[in-house]
Chains A and B, each alone.
Chain A
């Protein structure tokens, strides 16, 4: 059950319960970085990495340190762990690859306040996932977020020259597209559903 369960959680997190399109989390960077496919891929990869590992670390912190008496501390603890993790990831990327560091720019530190990442850690608690499931959920959510932002970048490239009504340009039309994409993703719910 556990392995299969983790597998199901992984796929559900990508498609049917995509954290961006069903929960509308992580919207801010989704709207601002989805102008180009290349940067979307870079940010998507960084978000995926951070999500997968912070959900695992936060699971351990939550179950070994906070349960049973201090669960109310989870918000502050999760955020602090995420911030520290992002900071270290940033240092490593800067050390290892100047090129990737320059490509991600300001969006790398901004991952810290990407609400989808805190969301993953909180959902994992609410849904009572095991360690393996939490890691799978983090990884899947990250990939799902990446899929959504790349798809959005592709669509935005297509509509770059379209006559968009004034007042809907920019964030307006992007939100409408995100809504339509969300409806399309509901179509996946025939495959797997997450309790």
Chain B
């Protein structure tokens, strides 16, 4: 009896031991990719353990590639140019890559595993991108459908960004989102206020993030965001500036104007703000105040469909018509646009007709 017990235990242990040994050997040989070197933009070199995905490896080295889905290959944000050291494009990447991107060796960093030395290219600005935890300090209504959210940063406690850049706000799981979702919003506060981030968020019917912000988010709630991102910031030149915005597109312009006021940048500037009726206008005093603070700034709000009780004495008509009327020439001028894709497209037409070359028209492609 005892003998039989020993035999059973012995055989089972022996089999397990042999298999474990095999697994250990396999793990040390087949699954061991050793230390590999990642060269970023031909200058920065990282020595890391191979075998993990590029995205998570970079993240552990504190380089944040934008990623909304958390590395499951469903959002397609984490594109990185891989010059050397990657194999063929994977089937899980194909839905997110265009023909041209594949030719340019663009890869999804969340799918690509590091197996040998790699050479990659990422935009310089991403070195500055971080994840922030913060708390909602204030929520106020700007109009019936736009809220201003002020977030006080906790960890890290300070953000440095250029006026006009955007951050990605995380919507946690709730009724409309079965996984965390990220949406981009321009920062409306001045870069000098490093301890807080102010966003202007307009309600989009059934929008996952905007519904969350408008109906669920309360003062004192914890929020997570990452950033800053984007190429939408004031270029260093002496040209006249034309700002054009509609709705919550005011946010980055407000940030840029505050920055200009603080730095005493005295360039000639015009700001066209398009709305339908007077109840779509907001922060009118603040915008008017910039006319005092800046040496040569004019704020031009325009209503496309003013109603009688608005008592509107300002510009009337589509924003494109107002620009056409008020802007004499496009010479020595650069333009900064923020609004719906339709508005941006229409404004670009008017501005190029005025003589502003397309490379001097700047805008963020959200949507």
A residues in contact (CB < 8 Å) with B: 61, 65-66, 69-70, 73, 76-77, 80-81, 84, 87-88, 91-92, 94-95, 98-99, 102-103, 105
Contacts of A73 in B (CB 8 A): 8, 11-12
> Does A65 contact B30, Cβ atoms closer than 8 Å?
no
Provide the bound-state CA to CA distance between A164 and B54, in Å.
43
Q: Does B23 sit within 8 A of A, measured CB to CB?
A: yes
Knowing A69-B7, A70-B8, A103-B91, say if A80 contacts B19 (CB, 8 Å): yes
Closest to A105 in B: B92
Give the residue of A69, A84, A95, A102 whose beta carbon is less than 8 angstroms from that of B19: A84
> Does B87 contact A99, Cβ atoms closer than 8 Å?
yes
Give the residue of B15, B90, B111 whose beta carbon is less than 8 angstroms from that of A61: B15
Provide the bound-state CA to CA distance between A77 and B14, in Å.
11
Closest to A72 in B: B8
> Does A102 contact B111, Cβ atoms closer than 8 Å?
yes
Knowing A77-B15, A84-B19, A98-B88, say if A91 contacts B4 (CB, 8 Å): no
| Total interface residues in chain B, CB < 8 Å | 24
Closest to B22 in A: A84
Contacts of A65 in B (CB 8 A): 11, 14-15
Contacts of A88 in B (CB 8 A): 22-23, 26, 30
Contacts of A76 in B (CB 8 A): 12
User: Can you list, as one digit per residue, whether each of B29-45 has a CB less than 8 Å from chain A (1) or not (0)?
Assistant: 01100000000000000
Knowing A80-B16, A81-B19, A88-B23, say if A98 contacts B11 (CB, 8 Å): no
> Does A98 contact B113, Cβ atoms closer than 8 Å?
yes
Knowing A70-B7, A73-B8, A88-B26, say if A98 contacts B87 (CB, 8 Å): yes
Knowing A73-B8, A73-B12, A98-B87, say if A91 contacts B22 (CB, 8 Å): no
B residues in contact (CB < 8 Å) with A: 4, 7-8, 11-12, 14-16, 19, 22-23, 26-27, 30-31, 87-88, 90-93, 111, 113, 115
Contacts of B22 in A (CB 8 A): 84, 88
> Does A102 contact B11, Cβ atoms closer than 8 Å?
no
Contacts of B14 in A (CB 8 A): 65
Q: In the complex, what's the smallest C-beta–C-beta distance from A105 to chain B, in angstroms? A: 8
Contacts of B92 in A (CB 8 A): 102-103, 105
Provide the bound-state CA to CA distance between A84 and B22, in Å.
8
B8, B22, B91, B113 pick with most chain A CB within 10 angstroms: B91
Contacts of B27 in A (CB 8 A): 91
A65, A84, A92, A102 pick with most chain B CB within 10 angstroms: A102
Name 9 extra pairs, CB < 8 A, besides A65-B15, A105-B92: A61-B15, A73-B8, A84-B22, A88-B23, A88-B30, A94-B113, A95-B31, A98-B88, A102-B91
10 smallest CB-CB distances across A and B, nearest first, come from A102-B90, A84-B19, A91-B30, A91-B31, A102-B92, A98-B87, A103-B91, A88-B26, A95-B30, A91-B26
Q: In the complex, what's the smallest C-beta–C-beta distance from B252 to chain A, in angstroms? A: 38
Provide the bound-state CA to CA distance between A42 and B91, in Å.
13
Provide the bound-state CA to CA distance between A77 and B113, in Å.
33
Provide the bound-state CA to CA distance between A92 and B31, in Å.
8
Knowing A61-B15, A73-B12, A98-B113, say if A92 contacts B30 (CB, 8 Å): yes
